[in-house]
Amino acid sequence: MEMACAAKATIIVFLAAVICCQADTDRPGACKLSDLHISVVKTGKVVSGQPEYQVTIDNQCWCAQASVRVSCAGGLRSAEPVDESKIRAEDGGVCLVNDGLPIPKGLPVVFTGAWNTAPNFAPTLAVPHC
């Protein structure tokens, strides 16, 4: 009889944990812009006299984030073509990342471009998809 009670108690605790976590997943705003990490690193390659940079936009939130936009004042004027499915300039000094598709944790968006100085991208908008 004690084992049956212990098993029931274990199941109840497990279900409570699942319900709790499910409630967290449904909570809007579970992710923050600060969960989007952007790194810019020189590749060592030079294109038309300008250094090439590899840009990585990585989501550290456990929820995927979609409609990600970053500041990109001046657009994406690069000495080499930038993959527009990865980042594309919009009006108002912002750029759309990954065609607006969700960026899950562990699957960063990576692209290269050649600029006189390292680009300074900063997240301005993201919509969590939990």
The residue written with tokens 């600060």 in the block is 34
Q: pTM of the entire structure?
A: 0.76
Name residues whose C-beta falls within 8 Å of residue 53's C-beta, 6 or more positions apart in sequence.
40, 41, 42, 43, 112, 113, 114, 115, 118, 119
Give the separation between CA 106 and CA 123, rounded to whole angstroms: 18
Contact (CB, 8 A) for 104 and 76: no
- Helices vs. strands in the chain: H and E counts, helices first: 1, 7
Lowest mean pLDDT among 72-76, 100-104, 116-120, 124-128: 72-76
Among positive and negative, which fits the CA dihedral 94, 96, 102, 106? Answer: negative
Lowest mean pLDDT among 14-18, 50-54, 80-84, 98-102: 14-18
pLDDT digits 0-9 by tens, 45-72: 999 999 999 999 999 999 999 999 999 9
